[in-house]
Structure 1
Amino acid sequence: MTTDLTRSDATELAELIRTGKTSSVEVVQAHLDRIEAVDPRINAVVTLADGALDAARAADEQLASGVEVGPLHGVPFTAKDSFDTAGVLTQRGSPIFAGRVPETDATAVARLKQAGGILLAKTNLPEFSYWIESDNLLTGRTNNPWDLDRSPGGSSGGESAAIAAGMSPLGLATDLSISVRGPAADTGVSSFKPTHGRIPMTGIWPREPRRNWHVGPMARSVRDLALAYRLLAGPDGADGFSTTPPRFDTGLGTAPDRPLRVGWLVDSGLGPTDPEVAATVRAAADALRTAGARVDAVSIPAFERDNPLEVWTKLSTMEVKPAFRQVTAGHEEQMFDYTKFVATMPDTTVEEFVLAEQAVERLRDGVARFFHQYDLLLLPVTTIPAHKHRLEEFTVDGRTVGAFHVSSTTVPFNLTGNPALAMRFGTSSDGMPIAVQLTANLHAESTILHAASLLESLSPVRGQYPDLASAS
């Protein structure tokens, strides 16, 4: 039964617990056993939350007493180690914060707990959440469960690896340029970055540049993403970017009253894409067409005029370096490679910063024009499948690009704030997951979740998990 429990999604686990077919204690113990069995090779979990089994016993007692329970009652979840967790280590992937124990929960953590969820563990990340791999001097490197020689992505790579390997059914992650969607793509799970501000950033560090940071769930199913989004969305009175009330969009995946209008692309100024990734996007487009959607190959001229990755780099470098300097002063010898790299990058001039801000406005206008004609945009999540550890450049469709190019198809929607969802839809010739990305208009979470649920039902790889017995 343990194997079944560690492959069930959170929605199924909640139902099994609620109907008495299993107990919260059995579910939590199954995931703890799974962590003990496979995490030594993966290194996704950095801290176990004390008291998870005690909380599970309490959950079972509450259920037996007949009290009303929440939709995640007794279900374990994990959180990236950038989320504050009351009484549980939150070390942000850095020796500078070693031993740090917050007194309060981040808003997102508190909301899952309020719904009955049980915090099981914290997961690995790059130092300060700033890189496309999950490696640091404090808790080391996370490996991809599909191939231990490859990265599970960053910065939420520990979270994606834990879910893919059956150590957690549901997780909390953050996304500045790729970090919710890219790791999910690399490990074959699903993830959702809602409209900017829909989920508060309160209790998460770093906050700069907060206008590009997003919070989102990772899970094994689209229905879990919808459930988590419903529980997490809405202002908390502390995050000034989170102002839209939950009733604006429940995110339950309701269908529009007409055929979906879907545009798809694999380039459009965003740079080269691996042919197998491009083929997977085309296959997803064909599947949606077969299901009745109106599907067109498209381009977005705004992406061709202003390269989103270059724009993001100008803005992010300018805004994050002061925060990094403040916390690393006197601790320079404890900084990881990429943090050092950011610290030495040339400062963005005021003129460059202003020009980049104007480019963001043009990108937002261009995306708004697209969504005036279409409900959804379908495109790659990452431009290549999961890559080997610590590569500094890649060859993509015959062109050599820097490592950060993998985020060229995700970063546009951090700049514009549009919701975006990642889900697996294919497999590379060497057995790695390939995902597609669905994006929609601002606050159109229901549309995107409906389309993702439809696409999930058509997926040729639904329910496939890594075989850790054969992982290298």
Structure 2
Amino acid sequence: MSTVNLVDASIGDLHRALSSGAITAVDLAALYLRRIASYDMRAASLNSIPILNTNIFAEAALTDDRLTSGLPLRPLEGIPFTTKDSYKVSGQVAAAGSPAFEHLVANEDAFLVQAIREAGGVLVGRTNMPAVACGGMQRGIWGRAENPYNPDYLAAAFASGSSNGSAVSTAASFASFGLGGETVSSGRSPASNNGLIAYTPSRHYLSLRGTWPLYPTCDVPVPHTRTMKDLLALLDVIAKEDPITKGDFWREQPFIKLPKPWATRPPNFKVLENFTSLSGLRTAVPDISLGGAPPAGARKIKTSRAVIDLWSQARKDLEELGAEVIVVPDLPALTAYENDDLLPPGCPKRPDDWNAMERSALIAHAWNDFIKSFNDPKLPDLAAVDPLDIYPDSLRTEPELRHFEKANAIQDHKLTSYLDGTIFDVPGLEEAVKASWKTGSLPSTAMLWYSPPQETSVPRTQTILLKERTWLGGMACTTAMATAQFDTWESLLFLCRWASWPTKVSR
């Protein structure tokens, strides 16, 4: 068997090896499986990929057939990738880490999985996550992924990081990239802890069709890569319009008309590789995210000293690249959104009981609709599910119970009582949707690249250009400047670091 160094191998590296004949796609797949067997299943036991794709060699052989036939390489030809256990993959279970759905077999590929496969991608397997993405480093039916750099630290923030398996598998070079997702910060948090690039799009820019929902108003797909070049190559494949809207909340909802996604995207994302300077761009960071005093009536943001120190280094990096960095008091719109008493008169706002409604009726309808999309006679709908199996007490650990926020509790045993009508009949939904969208605004996308949250855990990474992030459902987010290629978008936006501080492992 030919050998290729898999550690940090880029998509370009693998394409060169395949096209030159240095290795076949089947042998490349075997090398990745050998690495997974050595480090994910034994030795470090990172436990990031609990389910392997049994068809991996057949998929890889299709690439070899194309190459021997003289056909050109497709954008992701022969490139190994992983999917979070929340994505549909035809013929495979889509359990979302929950015992209740351990035997629920997908009847189709999720849109993003289909796009990657059509571009030549080879699926390695499905990555770990807590039950129904509820939390971060809580254990699901297959446990959780562990930090590949330092076992004394978590692979993601404890309370938000359900894409820990995707991040760990990518950081450990078990695949070229991973498909994760997030509702709060479940994609960015593990990217931060593993020194990765995470792409968190604004709503409806990447199709969610075929992925398990949690809070449909907040859910977005989040791919993980090790380099910006790899992310740009991946975006060229997945950043496209999905003609089918059913099963993707924001593209299906009837309350507001969304702008056409990617209407002003470049011919290909690789043109962004040409940037070597941030000259002429201004970046701002709110002082409240750096330990500063909040405005009167607002809650104080707790940011660890380690994160503030890393921000100082990131600021230095930005300035050395030519950017102007300024500190502003706060983000007024966000501060008002998170502190209802500060909203100006007449400002659209969510219904007072929306937090409870989002965790009951909205989830009930979203899960019911998704389960029904499998057309599985053994599990036809949510009513056929034993609610005690969705997130059983046997998976809940003492630290989770000790720090659990009751306001975020999902009443699994009551969900079927909320299934009257459709998801769009949920009381208060129209008001909540309209309150989270500024009429006439064009949300752009957010490219997020974190420096790691603890210097002893992960090697330092660079800081990159970020794009505007539209606030949605109280999501913590990072924002920054538009680039020259996207000159139809604002050139001055705000940079807000996500405060994911070092978290010691709770065993």
TM-score range for the pair, normalised by the shorter chain length: 0.7 to 0.9
1:198 aligns with 2:190: no
Letter in 1 for 2:468: N
8 A contact 1:59–1:74 mirrored in 2? yes
Q: Is the 8 A contact 1:422 1:437 kept in 2?
A: yes
CA distance in 2, matches of 1:235, 1:308: 35
Query: 1:167 is matched with which residue?
Result: 174
TM-superposed CA distance for 1:258, in Å, is 6.3
Aligned-partner Cα distance in 2 for 1:110–1:308? 41
Query: Any idea what SS the aligned residue of 2:231 has?
Result: helix
Please give the TM-score of this superposition, normalised by the length of structure 1. Answer: 0.73
Contact 1:115 1:231 in 2 (8 A): yes
How has the CA–CA distance of structure 1 residues 354 and 74 changed in structure 2, closer, same or farther, with 3 Å as cutoff? closer
Whole-angstrom distance in 1 between the partners of 2:410 and 2:460: 29
Q: Is 2:338 the counterpart of 1:307?
A: yes
Is the alpha carbon distance of 1:141 and 1:84 closer, same or farther for their aligned partners in structure 2, counting shifts above 3 Å?
same
The letter for the 2-side match of 1:305 is A
AA partner of residue 335 (structure 1)? I
Q: How does 1:375-386 map to 2 (within 5 A)?
A: none
CA distance in 2, matches of 1:346, 1:297: 47
Whole-angstrom distance in 1 between the partners of 2:303 and 2:49? 32
Gaps of 5+ in 1: 369-415, 452-471
Contact 1:289 1:295 in 2 (8 A): yes
The more displaced of 97-106 and 2-11 is 2-11
Is the Cα contact below 8 Å between 2:466 and 2:480 reproduced in 1? no
Task: Measure the CA separation in 2 of the matches of 1:227 and 1:317.
Answer: 36
Aligned to 1:412: none
Could you say what the CA RMSD is over the residues aligned between the two structures, in angstroms?
A: 3.9
**Equivalent position amino acid for 2:447 in 1:** L
User: Identity of aligned pairs, percent?
Assistant: 23
1:12 Cα deviation from its structure 2 partner: 2.2
Residue 331 to residue 266, structure 1, CA distance change in 2 (3 Å): farther
Q: Alignment partner for residue 227 of structure 2, among 221, 228, 240?
A: 221
Question: CA separation of 1:83/1:290 partners in 2, compared to 1, >3 Å: closer, same or farther?
Answer: same
- What secondary structure, in the 3-state scheme, does the structure 1 residue paired with 2:50 have? strand
Q: How does 1:224-373 map to 2 (within 5 A)?
A: 224-239=230-245, 241-242=250-251, 244=260, 246=262, 248-250=264-266, 251-252=269-270, 254=272, 255=275, 259-265=280-286, 267-268=288-289, 271-298=301-328, 299-307=330-338, 313=355, 316-318=358-360, 319-321=362-364, 323=366, 327=382, 331-336=386-391, 341-343=409-411, 360=436
What's the secondary structure of 1:202's corresponding residue?
Answer: coil
Taking the aligned partners of 2:286 and 2:212, their CA distance within structure 1 comes to 34
Question: 1:441 — aligned with what?
Answer: 468
Deviates more, 1:416-425 or 1:291-300: 416-425
User: Which region of structure 1 is more displaced relative to structure 2, 12-21 or 303-312?
Assistant: 303-312
Q: Counterpart of 2:326 in 1: which secondary structure? A: strand
Contact 2:205 2:445 in 1 (8 A): no
**Counterpart Cα distance in 1 of 2:337 and 2:37:** 47
Larger Rg: 2
The CA deviation at 1:8 is 0.6
Between 221-230 and 434-443, report the one with greater CA deviation: 434-443
Q: Deviations over 1:249-287 (max 9, x none)?
A: 144453599622211236355711111111212211221
Moved more, 320-329 or 229-238: 320-329
1:122, distance to aligned residue in structure 2 (A): 0.6
Distance in 2 separating the partners of 1:95 and 1:419? 34
Aligned position for 2:122 = 118
Give the secondary structure class of the aligned counterpart of 2:301: coil
Q: After superposition, what is the alpha-carbon deviation per residue over 1:189-227, rounded to whole angstroms, capped at 9, x for unaligned? A: 211012221111111112x54332111211111111111
Q: Which structure features the higher share of helix residues?
A: 1
Alignment CA distance shift 1:21-1:201 (3 Å): same
Describe the shift of the 1:334–1:165 C-alpha distance in structure 2 as closer, same or farther (beyond 3 A). same
- CA displacement at 1:247 relative to structure 2: 5.3
Question: What letter matches 1:261 in structure 2?
Answer: R
Name the one with the larger strand percent.
1
- Of 81, 86, 91, the residue aligned with 2:90 is 86
Quick one: structure 1 residues 330 and 114, their matched pair in 2 at CA, closer, same or farther if it must change by over 3 Å?
closer
Moved more, 111-120 or 280-289: 280-289
Q: Kindly indicate whether the alpha-carbon contact (under 8 Å) linking 2:111 and 2:207 is maintained by their aligned counterparts in 1.
A: yes
Q: Distance in 1 between the 2:36 and 2:151 partners?
A: 16
- Flag the 1:23–1:448 CA change in 2: closer, same or farther, 3 A: farther
Asked if 1:140 is matched to 2:143, the reply is: yes
Flag the 1:449–1:330 CA change in 2: closer, same or farther, 3 A.
Answer: farther
Tell me whether 242-251 or 187-196 shows the greater mean CA deviation: 242-251
Is 1:422 aligned with 2:427?
Answer: no
Q: Which runs of 5+ in 2 are unaligned?
A: 252-258, 295-299, 341-348, 369-380, 397-403, 416-425, 471-478, 487-506
CA separation of 1:18 and 1:3: change in aligned 2, threshold 3 A:
closer
Tell me the CA shift for residue 103 of structure 1.
2.1
Q: Is the 8 A contact 1:249 1:446 kept in 2?
A: no
Offset at residue 151 of structure 1 (A): 2.8
2:4 and 2:69 mapped to 1: Cα distance?
29
Q: Say whether residues 1:186 and 2:218 are aligned partners.
A: no
> Could you tell me how far apart the structure 2 residues matched to 1:352 and 1:61 are?
54
Moved more, 114-123 or 437-446: 437-446
Determine if contact 1:209/1:320 at 8 Å carries over to the other structure. yes
State the 1:146 CA deviation. 2.3
Cα separation, 1, equivalents of 2:167 and 2:83: 10
Distance 1:72 1:209 in 2: 31
C-alpha contact 2:286 2:327 (8 A) present in aligned 1: yes
Work out the CA distance in 1 between the residues paired with 2:173 and 2:310: 25
Q: Read off the aligned partner of 1:230 and give its amino acid letter.
A: D
Deviations along 1:130-189, one digit per CA (max 9) or x if unpaired, are: 2122521x2122222223354323211111111112211111111111121111112222
User: C-alpha offsets along residues 45-67 of structure 1, whole Å, 9 cap, x if unaligned?
Assistant: 12111221222223122112111
Q: What is aligned with 2:457? A: 431
The alignment of Structure 1 onto Structure 2 pairs a total of residues equal to 399
